[in-house]
Amino acid sequence: MENKTERYIKLNSVGCWLDNKTGNTFPITSEGGIDKENCVCPLEDCGDEWYQSLDSYDFEIVKEYKHNNSDFRYTIIS
C-alpha cells in the first residue's frame, strides 16, 4: 500500500499539495488535507504568478520534480 506522505508533497507557499506521481496540484483544505474534488491543476498549467509565489523550499521541490520527469513541459527559470 502506498504511503500518502510519499506521494503527496505539501507546498505551503502556494497552498497546494503536489502529487509526485502525476504532477497534479490540489488545494490544501482548511483542515490541511487534500481537496481532490475541486480545482485540480497540472503543474504545467500553473501560471507564472503561481511559480513566482513559491518560496525557496517549495521551489526546490518543484525543480526536483521537473528534473525527475523528463516529459514535464514547464521551464523553471532560477
Number of domains in the chain: 1
- Give the model's pLDDT for residue 29: 94
Choose among 10, 5, 13: nearest CA to 26. 10
How would you write the pLDDT of the chain (78 residues) with one tens digit per residue? 344 557 899 999 999 999 999 999 999 999 999 999 888 999 989 999 999 999 999 999 999 998 888 665 544 544
- Give the model's pLDDT for residue 2: 45
17 with 11: CB under 8 angstroms? yes
14 with 57: CB under 8 angstroms? no
Any domain includes 36: yes
Any domain includes 74: no
Any domain includes 24: yes
Any domain includes 13: yes
Any domain includes 73: no
Alpha carbon 53 to chain centroid, angstroms: 12
In the structure grid, which three cell numbers stand for residue 59, read together? 521551489
Enclosing domain of residue 37: 4-68
